[in-house]
Amino acid sequence: MTQAPTLPPSDRREPGEVFPAGFTLFADMLLVGLLTSLACLPVVTAPAAFAAASATLRRAADAGAPVGAGGYLADLRAHLTPGSLAGGLAVPLLAGVLLVDSALIRASLPGAALMAPALLLLTLGLAVVALRTTALPAPHRLSLREGFRRSVARPRGTLLLAAALVPAALVAWSIPVLVPLLPGPLAFAATVVDLRDRPEGATD
């Protein structure tokens, strides 16, 4: 009895598809998410950790490179710069401001009905810009100005990232044990949005 030959996986992509069919999406996002969560533990390394996740996923999309811990760690070292660490200081500061504002809103102060949705929209907007910034390739790597510019100039991608952040926040609030798995899908969403916004035929 003869065995049918095994055909190699196809690298063809459907129209609008960013990642090839051989991209093991779930396993790669799981690995990248766990590595990013570990790299975020010092807090100030969060921008570099998300930027490394995006760079790793971008390399898998553009060159079909396998996603592994070694490649991620190399990207993390490349993104650990004084600028990224300084940007990481904004994470605990922003969290502190949000906690104080939330406490003031719960205190039923005048104007709280307007401040609550405004605070949520401001937080969502800052998170979208931050994700955009971490997904930028060279020469705009971790450029907050470029991240803000793309967020305003490309509203469709901004809405897509907002649509990814809202369920991620709900999952983090309702099932905290899943928080270590969230950075992977968020970095994936930011990378896909940036790749889709890239002009056709352009390379990073």
pLDDT of residue 203: 52
Confidence of residue 159 (pLDDT cuts 50, 70, 90): very high
Closest CA to 61 of 7, 24, 34: 24
CB 29 within 8 A of CB 162: no
DSSP code, position 43: S
The answer on pLDDT for 150 being more than 70 is yes
> Directed axis angle between helix 46-63 and helix 112-134, to 10°?
50
pLDDT of residue 202: 52
pTM (predicted TM-score): 0.76
Question: Which runs of consecutive H residues, i.e. helices, occur in the chain?
Answer: 25-39, 46-63, 69-79, 82-88, 90-106, 112-134, 144-153, 155-174, 183-197
| Tens of pLDDT, residues 62-102 | 766 677 788 899 989 988 888 888 888 888 887 777 777 77
The answer on pLDDT for 5 being more than 80 is no
pLDDT of residue 48: 92
Confidence of residue 148 (pLDDT cuts 50, 70, 90): very high
